[in-house]
Structure 1
């Protein structure tokens, strides 16, 4: 998480200005008004080459206002997943790229901002071939079907629905959604069965 601050200009106080009471709380300035859509495009243009060069895919960039600052959220991913160490490294590289872009070519995002870098959660819609590839073996819902992704190739996927394979092309797939699965109680491994056996054996030896 990176935070970048800029000192804002303070309004002048002329001879006729009302003196602020010493015990009054200072007013917190709001985030500068910016076109968030345009700012998002500028941020993406700066950081996408950096993320790609590091070996990751830039999945999403969002910018929101939060009080007197903006929050820049960046989602990155790769085959096999991304670790916390990877997130920390790519976060530093993104922050450096944004700073260098502003120093050399003007403002990318006005005002103070906070950078948050992470990986997409299971609630991320599956919309691209790489999303399906990275979710092989998972239970998903798509096009009114719920099944397990058994294959994900260049042209489409194969979904196992109750033992029946369904081949679906990417151009006919809507957004997929990973389904959360819970183990049945009788299938769960609590890891204490061996301990019970050891106790029984110990009692017999005595």
Structure 2
């Protein structure tokens, strides 16, 4: 896809996505055999539910049908959300991930896994888990030092509110 087509699609679709209360995260046109697939990724600070994705998909389809933005020939429109292990690219992505885990590659080839404690205009306050029984440590990371970061999915993280309630019950006993 040429940059011109990408820019044109973004200019056409972004206002429509915004009118639905969502942010346009990505646009990609891929060739699959003789067909083309237009993939549109949408999200918001509070996430996007299935009904919102369906609504925006119908609106985008109607808009694309009335223009020649995709040119001649068949294409498939796919509208979705970033997914569980989304890449963090913009400040609002980091702000939305506060409290959750994040991974990013280190210069030495390793990977840092940490919890985002806060996100401001300059960077992140992280809690890096301790290794081999050591306590977790705080670390400040500037956005400029982050080449790539991804949400870390946590399947067995205890709910902080449940821990607080459990501690209160123990104190009462």
Q: TM-score range by the shorter chain?
A: 0.7 to 0.9
**Structure 2: 5+ residue stretches without partners:** 107-111, 130-135, 159-173
TM-score normalized by the length of structure 2: 0.75
Q: Residue 123 of structure 2 aligns with which residue? A: 156
Taking the aligned partners of 1:75 and 1:96, their CA distance within structure 2 comes to: 17
Q: Residue 95 of structure 2 aligns with which residue? A: 133
Taking the aligned partners of 2:32 and 2:63, their CA distance within structure 1 comes to: 23
**Structure 1: 5+ residue stretches without partners:** 1-35, 188-206
Provide, for residues 97-118 of structure 1, a one-character-per-residue CA deviation record: whole Å limited to 9, x for no partner: 212333xxxx533211110100
Task: Look up the SS of the partner of 2:66 in the other structure.
Answer: helix
**1:81 matched to 2:47:** yes
Q: Residue 172 of structure 1 aligns with which residue? A: 145
Contact 1:43–1:98 (Cα < 8 Å) also in 2: no
More strand by share: 2
What is the aligned residue count? 147
TM-score normalized by the length of structure 1: 0.64
Provide, for residues 151-196 of structure 1, a one-character-per-residue CA deviation record: whole Å limited to 9, x for no partner: 1122221111123221222222221122232328xx7xxxxxxxxx
CA displacement at 1:143 relative to structure 2? 5.0
Look at both structures and tell me which one has the larger radius of gyration over its CA atoms: 1
